[in-house]
Amino acid sequence: MKLPVAETRRTLGRHLLIWTLGAQLAAWMVMVAIGWSTSLRETRKFTDGHLVAVAQLWMGTAAWSERDASGDLPVPREDVHEYAQDVAVMVWDNGRLVTDSDKLAAGLDMAKLPEKGLVTLVVRDARGEPHDWRAYVETSRAPGGERRVAALLDLKKRYVLAEDIAEHLASPSLILLPLVALVLWWTIRRGLRPLDQLSDEVAALDAFAGQRLETQHRFREFASTVTAINTMVDTLQAQAGRERQFASDVAHELRTPLAVITLQARAAQADPSPERLARLEQEALRAGRILTQLLDLARAQRASHPGAGGQAAEAAQPTALGEVAARLLSAHAQLAHESRHEMSLSEEPGEVRVVVQPMLLELALRNLIENALRHTPPDTQVEVSVWRDAQGCGVSVSDDGQRAGPTAAPAQASSGLGLGLRLVERIAEQMGARLERDGGVAPMTTRFSLRWPA
């Protein structure tokens, strides 16, 4: 079963908290890496300096020259202090080993031991396993002989010391992570409170009652959001106004033929004359045409909105205006013959194409042709023109029926022409075109055009 939307969506506060904690964790890991690198580098410097100090100290201690090599040495052990390093010392007087604190001489390759300086050596233990040691060698020559002192440190102990220092650096940050997370959660909750207040204002907004959001808010970042919401509200109000006007026009269009049908039906019951029956049929056909136009509008809306009515929206594609016009003129040839209208098609050289949904284009152009055929006198010329100019391209339906003035179409609402033009105007908006009306080119007196801007 599909979960409700509220249960499947994450909150913005949680989203911000996750990203903030992730960034903090990444920064902590970088700090640990830097701390480890720094501690290793500083430990290396510290231990090397320690080796140098020990070697120089032993170099100046002459009393140890007669001491047996197996004697105990006053070298600090790890149990004295956590940073005290166990340093092995070897002393040679005149080439003879006199001191070997950790019994390392047997596993040491003397050829790799320099006279002076720091070096990393491989020393084998009693079982023959190699180990890396860091050593500092100091050699002193005097008239009485030669002394060489080597101070050595197991590199494993250096790494242990580096890890200990890095752990001391990172531990406080790790302990503070939960506390910082709690503070961040509280801060984000407080920071999102103005957004929650704005959401409550939007939820309480009655767009169709003319309400708008206050443009003066405490936070400058909300200005664009408030402006966008108010723009949407204005659009909804304008659309609602057009819907109400359209509903009023539809009611007016249907009320007139239905009232006439009712009166003619009552009169025909008393006197079923051919004239009354013909009038009854005419008004019924007129009401049918109005319903057909409403069905056309519903089809246009389904074609423009994906998923409307359970159907997929028709895709816009390059469409030749001349082909659509020729097909519609052929389909209306019989109606033109019956109404004694002469129809023609004129096209400019070269094909004129627009990217539209073909069904919407056919609905709009068909309504313009039918309006010209039904609402102009007999023996009228009706011309469909496909054209292109510097401002754009389009298709026009012209006639010489002497429809006077730009307000003639709304005045003929009783004939159904006003509803048809409103339908065409709506379809034109959905196609990205504009419905225009002018007097046309002589001898034409009225022209309706669908224009696509360049």
Helix or strand or coil: residue 452? strand
Q: List all residues 6 or more positions away from 305 whose beta carbon is below 8 Å from its beta carbon.
A: 313
Distance in angstroms (rounded) separating the CA atoms of residues 212 and 232: 10
Task: Name every residue whose Cβ is closer than 8 Å to that of residue 57 and which is 6 or more positions away in sequence.
Answer: none
Strands 88-93 and 96-100: antiparallel
* 396: confidence class by pLDDT, cuts 50, 70, 90: very high
What's the burial of 364, exposed, middle or buried (CB within 10 Å: 0-12/13-18/19+)? buried
* DSSP state string for 278-343: HHHHHHHHHHHHHHHHHHHHHHHHHHHSTTGGG-PPPPPEEEEHHHHHHHHHHHTHHHHHHTT-EE
Side-chain-side CA neighbours of 173 within 13 Å: the count stands at 16
Q: Report all structural domains of the chain as residue ranges with CATH numbers, in order of start.
A: 11-191 (no CATH), 222-304 (1.10.287.130), 319-453 (3.30.565.10)
| Cα gap 37→46, rounded to integer Å | 14
**What are the tens digits of pLDDT across the range 221-247?**
777 888 888 888 888 888 777 777 777
Q: What is the DSSP letter of 2?
A: P
pLDDT score for 5: 44
> Which residues does residue 92 pair with via DSSP β-bridges, in sequence order?
97, 148
Contact 137, 56 (CB under 8 A): no
For residue 152 the two structure tokens come to: 């050595």
**Per-residue pLDDT, 303:** 62
| 175 Cβ contact list (under 8 Å, min separation 6) | none
Cα distances (Å, whole numbers) of residue 10 to 5, 70, 170, 385: 10, 72, 32, 56
d(CA 18, CA 106): 59
Question: What's the pLDDT tens digit per position in 282-294?
Answer: 778 777 777 776 7
Specify the range with the lowest mean pLDDT, choosing from 150-159, 165-174, 303-312. Answer: 303-312
Nearest Cα neighbor of 339 from 369, 305, 379, 309 is 379
When comparing pLDDT for 377 and 263, which is higher? 377
pLDDT above 70: residue 453 = yes
SS3 344: strand
Contact yes or no for 173/31 (Cβ under 8 A): yes
Q: What CA–CA distances, in Å, run from 321 to 429, 437, 447? A: 17, 19, 17
| Average pLDDT of span 266-280 | 79
Is 204 in a helix, a strand, or coil? coil
* Helix-helix angle 358-374:274-304, to 10 degrees: 160
**Bridge partners, 438 (sequence order):** 447
Which of the four pLDDT bands, split at 50, 70 and 90, describes residue 60? low
pLDDT of residue 404: 44
Instruction: Yes or no: say if 133 and 86 are a contact pair by the CB < 8 Å rule.
Output: no
Asked whether the beta carbons of 296 and 368 are under 8 A apart, the reply is no
Whether the CB-CB separation of 452 and 432 falls below 8 Å is answered with: yes
What pLDDT does 300 receive?
65
The per-residue pLDDT of the chain, averaged, comes to: 78
Q: Is the peptide bond before 74 cis (omega within 30 degrees of 0)?
A: no
Q: What is the mean pLDDT of residues 13-37?
A: 80
